[in-house]
């Protein structure tokens, strides 16, 4: 299915929220919601690639998610690790390049190795870029970008927006055009806060595991109807 839209956002970001509540509603453990959410992610990645999205950022694990129960954290890390390896053929078939945003240092070594391997194995692919955010926080990224600038000998008195942006995790990825959050919450939750400065925001009450291509197309149609002024006044 291709949405009947003429304006396709270049970069879409998704806060994939509601996995735990989806499972609780069905009397299942939270882990089953995360497993189902992974299937949804694959479905949406495929569709986003089909409709011409260039960059898709997925919020998989935030810097705040370490506060969750150890069992859930370990399950999520294991899910990320096994998913990246199992989906290589899927990425190759569609030419999808995988990148990672976030601080790798705290991520368990085995998961970190799989992230780096996925990045290396798909580096030459020229289709859509899927940016997976693991151990990611928007504020943390900005702090790390400033630290990189200073570590490279940058003058703190000369630090400006361009200099900071060039030191973000992936300066080659453009700012967000459309930010989607599922699950009924209406907040950014530290998601790409630098890149989302002028993003259009789409909030859905539907839990992430229940999302399908029609929900994604609804968000694209919403984006098409927005008048993007970037602080200016239309002529």
| Structural domains of the chain in order of their starting residue, each with its CATH number | 11-190 (3.40.1180.10)
**Of the listed 19, 50, 65, 74, which one is catalytic?**
65
Q: Are 21 and 183 in contact (CB under 8 A)?
A: yes
pLDDT of the residue at 212: 97
Say if residue 1's pLDDT is above 60: no
What Rg do the C-alpha atoms of the chain give, in angstroms? 18
Torsion of CA 195, 199, 205, 207, to 10 degrees: -40
pLDDT digits (tens, 9 = 90+) for 143-199: 999 999 999 999 999 999 999 999 999 999 999 999 999 999 999 999 999 999 999
DSSP 179: E
pTM of the predicted structure, to 2 decimals: 0.94
Answer whether 176's CB lies under 8 Å from 192's CB. Answer: yes
Burial, 187: exposed, middle or buried (Cβ in 10 Å; 0-12, 13-18, 19+)?
Answer: exposed
For the segment 195-227, what is each residue's pLDDT rounded down to a tens digit? 999 999 999 999 999 999 999 999 999 999 987
pLDDT, residue 235, reads 52
If you write DSSP's letter for every residue of 82-145 in order, what string do you get? HHHHHTHHHHHHHTPEEEEES-GGGS-HHHHHHHHHHHHHTTT--S-EEEEEEEE-HHHHHHHH
Measured CA distances, 87 to 74, 90, 94, 134 (Å)? 20, 5, 11, 17
pLDDT grade for 233, boundaries at 50, 70 and 90: low
Q: Is the alpha carbon torsion for 203, 129, 49, 51 positive or negative?
A: positive
Query: Rounded to whole angstroms, how far apart are CA atoms 41 and 104?
Result: 22
Residue 17 annotated in active site:
yes
190 carries an active-site annotation: no
DSSP sequence for 55-77: EEEEEEEETTGGGS-HHHHHHHH
């Amino acid at each position: 299915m291709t949405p009947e839209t003429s304006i396709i956002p270049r970069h879409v970001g998704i806060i994939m929220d509601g996995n735990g509540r989806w499972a609780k509603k069905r009397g299942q453990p939270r882990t089953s919601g995360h497993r189902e959410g992974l299937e949804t992610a694959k479905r949406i990645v495929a569709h986003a690639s089909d409709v011409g999205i260039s960059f898709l950022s997925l919020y998989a694990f935030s810097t705040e998610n370490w506060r969750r129960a150890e069992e859930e954290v370990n399950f999520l890390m294991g899910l990320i690790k096994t998913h990246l390896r199992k989906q290589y053929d899927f990425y190759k078939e569609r030419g999808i390049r995988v990148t990672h945003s976030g601080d790798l240092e705290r991520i368990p070594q085995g998961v970190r190795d799989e992230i780096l391997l996925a990045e290396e194995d798909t580096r030459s692919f020229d289709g859509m870029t899927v940016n997976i955010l693991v151990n990611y926080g928007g504020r943390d990224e900005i702090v790390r970008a400033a630290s990189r600038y200073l570590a490279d000998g940058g003058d703190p008195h000369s630090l400006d927006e361009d200099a900071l942006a060039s030191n973000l995790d992936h300066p080659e990825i453009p700012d967000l055009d459309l930010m989607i959050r599922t699950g009924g919450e209406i907040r950014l939750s530290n998601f790409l806060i630098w890149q989302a400065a002028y993003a259009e925001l789409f909030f859905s009450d539907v839990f992430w595991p229940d999302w399908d291509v029609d929900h994604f197309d609804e968000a694209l149609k919403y984006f098409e109807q927005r008048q993007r002024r970037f602080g200016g006044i239309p002529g």
